[in-house]
Chain A
Amino acid sequence: MAHDTAHHESNISRIWKVFFLLSVITIVEVILGIIKPPFLIETTLISMKLLNWIFIILTIWKAYYITWAFMHMEGETKGLRRSVVWTAIFLICYLIFILLTEGDYVYEVFKAGHKSWDF
């Protein structure tokens, strides 16, 4: 839109800042994945290793920066932002909750069942 071009400020420095941040997060993830600190593996939180929680949180953090800074979600109107982001978050959380609960249940059935699976 023509009126857009007139008002856009250059945000090149912000782009490089976000790139730097995303790189640092990725490097931290890779380092943690390679050394796998025993403390983070032994501790579990809500039936998952602490290390995995850290990975997931770092990933969501990266996703936030990609969406907000690179995809310019921060510049969109509240209505557009919410209709995209809230819909996705709600449906994804719902799906994950249902499928992981079911997966865990199937695992228990396999384990407690009278059939042998390992032969």
Chain B
Amino acid sequence: METAVTKTGTEDKIWGGGNEPLKASYGKMMMWFFILSDALTFSGFLAAYGFSRFKFIDSWPIADEVFNHFPFLHGVDAPMYYVALMTFILIFSSVTMVLAVDAGHHMKQKKVILYMFLTIIGGLIFVGSQAWEWKNFIKGEYGAVETKGGQILQFVDAEGHRVGLKEIAILDTHKERTQHESKLGVWYDKESALPTYTIDEIRAGFAKRKDLLIRTQVLTEEGEKTILSREESLRRLQADAIGIVEGANLVHNEYGTPLFANFFFFITGFHGFHVFSGVIINIIIFINVILGTYERRKNYEMVEKVGLYWHFVDLVWVFVFTFFYLV
């Protein structure tokens, strides 16, 4: 076991490399510098997000309207409650991690096992929550119309409540365009999925329902989206709209500028990947703790090192939470 603990045989030779000015083991110090570099990577992403947001400062999507789902509460507007819950789960798993580190300092194997187990469970719940959040984001809720210039037009009723495409569209039963499948063609090629509604079906439905208005991406002085007059709405839908958007991917995004979706996928995805790898590393150390590796080694510094990584993941989430959901 001596190999796992850094001993260079120079411990008492001050001029022979036995001096440790930072009083930290090699592994722990390198974990700190890895965290530093990873923190700079995340800062790069978040600063790029800030750049894009400043670039589109008067037309950025409003996070409260985008992330307003909560499990088992369908159709209830619950802005931020779910992310707040996710934040708590992650902070709590950080607490159990630091308790595991503390128990490790006192060589209490049983307690380390319990706390590390709770940490892993917390991490898994968090990753699962993020997957659910992604699912809602990709699926979308109301749908919108995209214009020639790539702008997003959303529908609202007279009270300003959002109206979904499915409530507007009048289905054209004589539609000639059908989904092409690989079994139908000569070359066994299939096309990408057709949109649920055509733009003409939306136009027809919009013309019928006199109470509907169009909401653009542009923010007003009060920080709300601009709602066009009925005439202007009809004109824009007729002249500019070219297709419908449902949900979000890297190219189209019903919530607003595609950059918002790109950053959402990239930053929360990269963070989720960190949580996932953190869980994997935690599991490896957890198995080692159960096997008694650190009892034989007579120190639990490995738990401390993965703990550092795990807290870092929590630290990053605190910033992602602020800049994606709050600000």
Contacts and interface: CB of A to CB of B under 8 A. Distances in A.
Interface string A32-54: 01100000010000000000100
Interface in A63-101: 63, 66-67, 69-72, 76-77, 79-80, 84, 87-88, 91-92, 95-96, 99-100
The B contact surface, by secondary structure, is helix
A80 B55 contact: no
B102 A10 contact: yes
B102 A71 contact: no
B84 A30 contact: yes
A: interface residue count bin: 35 or more
A33 B40 contact: no
B94 A104 contact: no
Interface in B240-289: 240
Contacts of A95: 43-44, 47
Residue from A41, A62, A116 whose CB has the most chain B CB atoms within 10 Å: A62
A119 B107 contact: no
A5 B319 CA distance: 33
B240 A99 contact: no
A19 B326 CA distance: 21
B139 interface: no
A12 interface: yes
Nearest to A78: B22
Interface residues of B, number: 71
A29 B322 contact: yes
B203 to A, nearest CB: 17
A119 B148 contact: yes
A87 B36 contact: yes
Contacts of A112: none
A33 B32 contact: no
A92 B43 contact: yes
B318 A63 contact: yes
Interface in B35-81: 35-36, 39-40, 43-44, 47-48, 50-58, 64, 79-81
Interface stretch (B156-164, B190-198, B307-315): B307-315
B151 A84 contact: no
Interface stretch (B85-93, B170-178, B181-189): B85-93
Contacts of A10: 102, 105-106
A52 B67 CA distance: 18
Interface in B91-117: 91-92, 94-95, 97-99, 101-102, 105-107
Given A87-B36, A88-B39, A107 B105 contact: no
Contact of B311 (A11, A41, A66, A99): A66
A66 B308 CA distance: 10
A11 B114 CA distance: 18
Q: Which of B36, B47, B58, B300 has the most CB of A within 10 A?
A: B47
A107 B218 contact: no
Contact of A56 (B5, B300, B322): B322
Contact of A15 (B21, B99, B319): B99
22 contacts: A1-B299, A4-B301, A11-B102, A30-B81, A55-B322, A66-B314, A71-B311, A84-B36, A88-B40, A91-B40, A95-B44, A99-B50, A99-B51, A100-B50, A102-B51, A103-B50, A103-B52, A103-B54, A106-B55, A107-B56, A119-B147, A119-B151
List the 4 closest A-B pairs by CB distance, nearest first.
A103-B54, A8-B105, A103-B51, A119-B149
Interface of A: 1-2, 4-5, 8, 10-12, 15-16, 19, 22-23, 26-27, 29-30, 33-34, 41, 52, 55-56, 58-59, 62-63, 66-67, 69-72, 76-77, 79-80, 84, 87-88, 91-92, 95-96, 99-100, 102-104, 106-107, 110, 116-119
